[in-house]
Structure 1
Amino acid sequence: MSYTTESIRNVILAGHASTGKTTLFEALLHAGGTIQTQGSVERGTTQSDTDAQEKARGHSIDSCIAAIDHGGCHINLIDSAGYADFRGASLAAFAAVETVAIVVNAVNGIEHGTRRMMEHAKQRGLARLLVINKIDFDGAKLSALVDALREEFGSECLPINLPAQGGRQVLDCFFHRDGNTDFSSLAQAHQRILDQVVEINENVMGAYLDAGEEALTPQQLHDAFEQCLREGHLVPICFVSARTGAGVAELLNITERLLPNPAEGNPPPFLNDGDQPIAVSTDPTKHVIADVFKIVNDPFVGKLGVFRVWQGTIRRDTQLLIDDGRKPFKVGHLFRLRGKTHEEIDSAIPGDIAAVAKIEEIHFDAVLHDSHDEDRIHVRPLPFPQPMFGLALVPKHKGQEQKLSQALSRLAEEDPCFRMEHHKELNETVIRGLSDLHLKIMLERMKDRYAVEVITHPPRIAYRETIAGKAEGHHRHKKQTGGAGQFGEVFLRVEPLERGAGFEFVDAVKGGVIPGQYLPAIEKGVRQAMEGGAIAGYPLQDLRVVVYDGKYHPVDSKEVAFISAGKKAFLDAIGKARPIVLEPIVDVEVSIPEANVGDVTGGLAGKRARIMGTDALRGGELVIKAQAPLAELTDYPTELKAMTGGRGRYSLDLSHYEPVPLPVQKQLSEAWKPHAEED
């Protein structure tokens, strides 16, 4: 290894589907000398789309990593999926980079995937770069698109190069100002971006105002440019045609000369056991801190944990710890990834992306370190979209229950937006994802990789219960069986909290009428009751329980007595506190041909949906934004397919919970009563 942390660049290609990210990924690898022949999505020969499903469908499903060593830089480049159905893996990879290059289709313009990824990158404090691809395609209106980008995302979006000769050439307007284009003058574009860059730093601005641009050194320009990216003061726009290669070399040059290295980026918030921030540095001699952002269950090398090194140096044969575990593992093999190719390396320095294999304990978001003296180290969990689309399933063939559970666990390890639940009361296994397509892909993978087939049906909706008022409850648990008895008495009060607040347990007991050792037992009983529900069998949330009085017996009082007393006192109070059922309300984005807008909006209105707005896209496509009860969308994939001839797509994100209509609550309560009476 002959590079340093300062020469590393970590960049992810993100954006809407069909913007050409994978083709651009191939073009950059080819231009940088990593591959000799550029692969093709159509022929299924790309470095990133190596999965059988990706080849069959012609688009990325997972993220893919490859390194480019070019011009004195080591570039870790990540290709990501564009479909919203698979954005979990894309967002997970944001944790490994300093820069997000958001690829925009020059013909289709700004799409909802563009907006989504720009917002995610901004929230995480990452440098952003807008890459307009397909500049040589018919229908590309580049000047209008730049204006639209600036209107949508702010005046900080400025071209750093310009297309010429109908998209067959790209000219730099930051370092050079010669030549003419069919878009705008280079001198004008150069001045606009230079003015934006120098105003971020007072010293640079002073030198520029005193003696002009010639007084600025390349290092001063780089430092100011990098600061602009880090602080969101500048979002460069550059132009490429991944198909012809126009602008690809220029994009590599921008990456090498201007994008932040690991020492210049904004690190993620590492925390200690008390959730206090831990400062990390890019010092290769300090103890190791690395973050696992990707898990791959590879059939040849086993479980692969892909990580970004933030501090210290990881070498083969060294010992590492996972989170706060005290059992170290040995780094037997250290890999650099290039698609599905694994190249063994001796070490990984700060800023590097590498992988270890066959460590069963490793998991997504694990922090790897080598210090036994350090408190537990963890990273603040990344915000991921809540998987709301569900399927209940059973094995198609008897005797495969254990195999099904293991296969689902492996798939859940790889995708932070794929969940598996088992509902004991229904003996039902439920999987949840971001869409019907997301779950369809996961079930196909399960069949191909683990030879498990399933029968599916709609799951029970994840309703919740809460209360609308305050009330008090009481219960005395007294049991005498001839020997030692059981005694515990609890008085408590329940109060509603604001939606989404969760649960609070408050000890307001005075005078020692209930010894402190029994308070955890009361809380345990309350939590047991909360899990089982009060009026419809769904978990309770958004309430406070205050225990304020009670009694105990010095001989007969036991933990089990206070568990029972706490549970029944809680249910007594809940019954008086106007309990209500809450239903999940989801944000729905539906992409459809404009001709189908009437049918689709009418269909949503019939599902108790609220239309929040629409976005018109190029090519006659429309995005409808709405909020709807999840319970109303069980059959929506089939309905949307019928309304749009298979051209419609949609995504769901949990928005909030709100009370169900009274007839629905009555129906849910009556359906639950027989089960409650059995208990």
Structure 2
Amino acid sequence: MAAISANGGSPSGVRGKGPRCVAIVGPFQSGKTSLFESILERCGAVSRAGSVKTRNSVGDASAEARAHQMSTEPNVATVSFLGERFTFIDCPGSVEFLHEMRHVLTAVDAAVVVCEADDRKAPALELVLRELEEADIPRFLFLNKIDTATRRVRETLALLQRASRTPLLLRQIPIWRNGIAVGFIDLALERAFVYREHAPSEVVPLAAEEVERERDARFSMLEKLADYDDTLMEDLLGDIEPPRDLIFDDLARELRERHVVPVLIGAAERGNGVTRLLKALRHEAPGLDATRGRIGVVDSGAPLGLVMKTWHSGQGGKLSLARVLRGRLSEGDTVTSSAGIEARIGGVLELKGPEQLRQPVAEEGEVAAFSRLEGVRTGDAIAAGKVRPDAISAVVPPEPVHALAVTVKERKDDVRLAAALARLIEEDTGLSLQHLSEFSEMRLSGQGEMHLRVALERLSGRYGVAVESAATEIGYRESIRGKASARGRHRKQSGGHGQFGDVVLEIAPLPRGEGIRFVDKITGGVVPRQYISSVEAGVRDFCQRGPLGFPLVDIEVTLTDGSYHTVDSSDMAFRQAARIAMSEACPQAKPVLLEPILAVEIVIPSDAMSRASALVSARRGQILGYDARPGWRGWDQINAQVPEAEMGGLIVELRSATSGVGSFSARFDHLSELAGKPADAVVAAQAMAQAR
């Protein structure tokens, strides 16, 4: 293997990996965008790194990201470092936008996980690492904010290890002066570096007082590497200094095979540690061949890409961010998606945040935005020509945990709202839309309060559609407790043929979930056969809104008697007679309000169990059981039943009680009687709403 390069890098024999794609991920406010900016500065893509706080960053340039000072969608930039091309994709860290990175991860070669020594963020770090583990992504961990760290690195590593199922491998240790990290020692290179503000670190002699500390840390690193290399293990047991090229070879191989997660340190806002991170990526991160093998793409065949993100803009139209996994894709090429959609590439754009540089072609391994791929969606594979490619991404959209009813502020925007929401949902796979005819409600669902707030801001700012939002309607129902019988007679004479229908109905309750059952017990033809279906239709008409104002369910209605007129009887007359009979019988049968109960599974870190349980109890919930979350050390789950009316805002309080990481899934379970003042309040509100 080649020797170490003169500039202190790693072996020069690992060239030719082609353009690479790296995701920058990590918990909310860990410094991902700051690292993204520092990388752009170090690679010469910008003259000065921007800042999230001063709202002048290349990343997080959207109005929503700037307003909330948080990433709300991936930021993309392609740069060159020491002659090699990298595309960095800075992914949101908030759990409400975590779904944005899932399609990105499918096509990246490696990930940099940005984190800090903060106990409160350890569960959020575990969520991110779990996503990477399940996607089988090689990953580095960048321990950020080392300039403000108060905990020793060994303690920090123990904290971080609890969040990772893969062993963490410390590659650098800080140089402390008066309790402040002023530089680092690279354990593979055995060199000391002093930080310089927004510039590469300076190599300095290793201080005598650091020698023993460096030796101990280096031996620990080599021991961990030796777990997967018998030759290195023999050298260590024989007290032989292993060749440096063997060490770098092991570092690259064990990263590629996901045996270890290398840990580097730095301070992204100051640009500290960035050059060493870039060099580690350049020499150790796998290339496109390894990524194709991971996702099952062969290296021959028609040019192939994978769409990682979709955007719509008012002026530029639709953009599909994709990585070219095979061959090259050019402007004007016809492509077919894995969903069977044919489209023509309108343009090829290289991105640097919001900036777009037009290119004639996207080469193999590169990431580009293709314009006007109508009908092609995030997660689709696209292949040149008319042959439909196999699907690559199997990312399942996340279940919604928060919903709002949305309406336009001005009626003239009704049509525009539908189109804008369709585009918004195409951009963001974490959103979903339902049209509920029962309530005449358009329900927008997503991953949390902030997620939906940002979505509504995009509707207004990006698409010019102002909307109002409100809590969603609850699917109350009503039934009866007792039995009753009533006659319904509809008679009307207004010249010519009149109207006559006469029925006797008996009603009785049914077990929950049985719906509406109609029974015909007419004998002797007192109600002619041709009118029976009209009687049933009248019954079902009435059941759409019972005496309490809600749909009537779980009731048996029996037609027992009636009469007819040979001239004046009609379908409409018997239908109306049935409605009259029902309106007379139901108030006598002890009507009862039913509320929907949801089966809810809540997942939280174990130390938040008591707080989460209290939230369930405060919402009239019934806890059915507790258990350890399968496969998640230090996490628990609660199984409970909670009234749908009490679910509003639960995700907000749950995340507040769990440092932003708690979540739940919910499904309808059953209807339960609601009585007393809560029922009276619901019925009164319904009567008021219907009177308006």
Is TM-score (shorter-chain normalized) higher than 0.5?
Answer: yes
SS in 2 for 1:33: coil
The match for 2:371 among 332, 357, 362 is 357
| Structure 2: distance between partners of 1:429 and 1:257 | 52
Residues 1:280 and 2:290 are matched in the alignment? no
Quickly say closer, same or farther: Cα 1:60–1:155, change in 2 above 3 A. Answer: closer
Residues 1:251 and 2:264 are matched in the alignment? no
The match for 2:219 among 170, 191, 207 is 191
Matches within 5 A, 1:239-318: 239-265=265-291, 267=293, 269=295, 279-281=297-299, 286-318=301-333
Determine the structure 1 residue equivalent to 2:424: 411
Deviations 1:274-302 (A, max 9, x none): xxxxx422x6xx42111101001123321
Quickly say closer, same or farther: Cα 1:259–1:268, change in 2 above 3 A. Answer: closer
TM-score (norm 2): 0.68
Determine the structure 1 residue equivalent to 2:598: 583
The match for 1:49 among 47, 60, 70 is 60
Residues 1:96 and 2:114 are matched in the alignment? no
The match for 1:120 among 126, 131, 134 is 131
Determine the structure 2 residue equivalent to 1:377: 390
SS in 2 for 1:225: helix
Determine the structure 1 residue equivalent to 2:517: none
Matches within 5 A, 1:127-276: 127-137=138-148, 139-154=150-165, 156-165=167-176, 166-176=180-190, 179=206, 185-200=213-228, 214-215=242-243, 218=245, 221=247, 224-265=250-291, 267=293, 269=295
| Structure 1: distance between partners of 2:38 and 2:628 | 35
| Structure 1: distance between partners of 2:97 and 2:342 | 34
| Structure 1: distance between partners of 2:15 and 2:210 | 40
Matches within 5 A, 1:301-450: 301-323=316-338, 325=340, 327-329=342-344, 331-372=345-386, 374=387, 376-450=389-463
Letter in 2 for 1:260: P
Q: CA shift at 1:403, angstroms?
A: 0.9
SS in 1 for 2:143: strand
Quickly say closer, same or farther: Cα 1:94–1:30, change in 2 above 3 A. Answer: same
Q: CA shift at 1:74, angstroms?
A: 1.3
Q: CA shift at 1:391, angstroms?
A: 1.0
Determine the structure 1 residue equivalent to 2:673: 663
TM-score (norm 1): 0.69
| Structure 2: distance between partners of 1:600 and 1:202 | 48
Quickly say closer, same or farther: Cα 1:267–1:631, change in 2 above 3 A. Answer: farther
Determine the structure 2 residue equivalent to 1:519: none
Note the residue ranges of structure 2 that are not aligned, 5 or more in a row: 1-13, 193-205, 478-543, 545-549, 553-594, 684-692
C-alpha contact 2:338 2:388 (8 A) present in aligned 1:
no
Quickly say closer, same or farther: Cα 1:183–1:17, change in 2 above 3 A. Answer: farther
Aligned residues: 536
Q: CA shift at 1:91, angstroms?
A: 2.4
Letter in 2 for 1:280: V
| Structure 2: distance between partners of 1:327 and 1:266 | 24
| Structure 2: distance between partners of 1:630 and 1:197 | 53
C-alpha contact 2:78 2:88 (8 A) present in aligned 1:
yes
C-alpha contact 1:230 1:265 (8 A) present in aligned 2:
no
C-alpha contact 1:136 1:167 (8 A) present in aligned 2:
yes
Determine the structure 2 residue equivalent to 1:482: none
Larger Rg: 2
- Give the share of equivalent positions with the same residue, in percent: 21
Q: CA shift at 1:602, angstroms?
A: 3.1
Quickly say closer, same or farther: Cα 1:389–1:310, change in 2 above 3 A. Answer: same
Q: CA shift at 1:213, angstroms?
A: 5.4
Determine the structure 1 residue equivalent to 2:617: 605
The match for 1:40 among 36, 40, 51 is 51
Q: CA shift at 1:252, angstroms?
A: 1.1
Greater shift after overlay, 441-450 or 647-656? 647-656
Determine the structure 2 residue equivalent to 1:456: 469
C-alpha contact 1:207 1:215 (8 A) present in aligned 2:
no
Greater shift after overlay, 152-161 or 393-402? 152-161
Q: CA shift at 1:605, angstroms?
A: 2.1
Quickly say closer, same or farther: Cα 1:5–1:427, change in 2 above 3 A. Answer: farther
| Structure 2: distance between partners of 1:258 and 1:349 | 22
Residues 1:30 and 2:41 are matched in the alignment? yes
Deviations 1:377-396 (A, max 9, x none): 21242144311211122222
C-alpha contact 1:135 1:240 (8 A) present in aligned 2:
yes
Quickly say closer, same or farther: Cα 1:308–1:184, change in 2 above 3 A. Answer: farther
SS in 1 for 2:279: helix
C-alpha contact 1:170 1:250 (8 A) present in aligned 2:
no
SS in 2 for 1:336: strand
Quickly say closer, same or farther: Cα 1:652–1:61, change in 2 above 3 A. Answer: same
Determine the structure 2 residue equivalent to 1:473: none
Greater shift after overlay, 433-442 or 97-106? 97-106
Letter in 2 for 1:363: R
| Structure 1: distance between partners of 2:374 and 2:405 | 28
| Structure 2: distance between partners of 1:225 and 1:89 | 30
| Structure 2: distance between partners of 1:458 and 1:247 | 47
C-alpha contact 2:292 2:325 (8 A) present in aligned 1:
no
| Structure 2: distance between partners of 1:463 and 1:30 | 58
C-alpha contact 2:18 2:365 (8 A) present in aligned 1:
no
Deviations 1:231-286 (A, max 9, x none): 3210111101112222111111111111222222365646xxxxxxxx422x6xx4
Matches within 5 A, 1:524-603: 583-587=598-602, 602-603=614-615
C-alpha contact 1:68 1:75 (8 A) present in aligned 2:
yes
SS in 2 for 1:168: strand
| Structure 2: distance between partners of 1:247 and 1:396 | 50
Determine the structure 2 residue equivalent to 1:59: 70
SS in 1 for 2:133: helix
Determine the structure 1 residue equivalent to 2:518: none
Greater shift after overlay, 603-612 or 168-177? 603-612
Quickly say closer, same or farther: Cα 1:633–1:215, change in 2 above 3 A. Answer: same
SS in 2 for 1:25: helix
Q: CA shift at 1:332, angstroms?
A: 3.7
C-alpha contact 1:614 1:623 (8 A) present in aligned 2:
yes
| Structure 1: distance between partners of 2:350 and 2:476 | 45
Letter in 2 for 1:186: E
Determine the structure 1 residue equivalent to 2:583: none
| Structure 2: distance between partners of 1:225 and 1:231 | 10
| Structure 1: distance between partners of 2:292 and 2:476 | 39
Letter in 2 for 1:190: R
Quickly say closer, same or farther: Cα 1:397–1:381, change in 2 above 3 A. Answer: same
Deviations 1:411-434 (A, max 9, x none): 101111011121234332111000
Q: CA shift at 1:351, angstroms?
A: 2.1
C-alpha contact 2:402 2:648 (8 A) present in aligned 1:
no
Quickly say closer, same or farther: Cα 1:14–1:327, change in 2 above 3 A. Answer: closer
